[in-house]
Structure 1
Amino acid sequence: MANHKRTVTDSEVQDVLNYFGKCPICDHPARAWHITARFDDGGVESQTVAACGGWCGWKGPVNPTPMTGDTAVLTQGQNMIGSAAAPSLPTALHHTDVPHQR
Structure 2
Amino acid sequence: MEDLSRAAGAASTLSKLVVRQQTREVLDHFGSCPECGYAANAFMNVTYYADGTATVTTRGTCGLPCGWSGPTEVTKMTGPTSPRVDFA
Alpha-carbon distance in 1 for matches of 2:59, 2:34 = 13
Report the 3-state secondary structure (helix = DSSP H, G, I; strand = E; otherwise coil) of the residue aligned with 2:59.
strand
Residue 36 of structure 1, CA deviation: 0.3
Q: Which has the higher contact order (CA 8 A, sep 6+)?
A: 1
C-alpha deviation, 1:27, in angstroms: 0.8
Tell me the distance in 2 between the aligned counterparts of 1:47 and 1:8: 15
Structure 1 regions of 5+ residues with no counterpart?
Answer: 71-102
**What is the CA distance between 1:65 and its match in structure 2?**
1.7
The match for 1:28 is 38
Moved over 6 A (4+): none
Query: Which structure would you say has the larger Rg?
Result: 2
- The answer to whether the 8 Å contact 2:31/2:74 transfers is no
Match in the other structure for 1:16:
26
| Deviating more after overlay: 59-68 vs 32-41 | 59-68
Quick check: 1:51 aligned with 2:56? no
Root-mean-square deviation (CA), in Å? 1.8
Shift of 1:16: 0.5
- Structure 1 residue 57 displacement after superposition: 1.1
Aligned to 1:91: none
Percent of pairs identical after alignment? 36
Aligned residue for 1:55, secondary structure, equals: coil
Report the Cα distance in structure 2 between the residues aligned to 1:40 and 1:69, rounded to whole angstroms.
33
Identify unmatched segments of 5+ residues in structure 2.
1-7, 81-88
1:17 to partner: Cα distance: 0.7
d(CA) in 2 for partners of 1:55, 1:12: 24
Aligned residues: 69
Q: TM-score normalised to the size of structure 2? A: 0.67
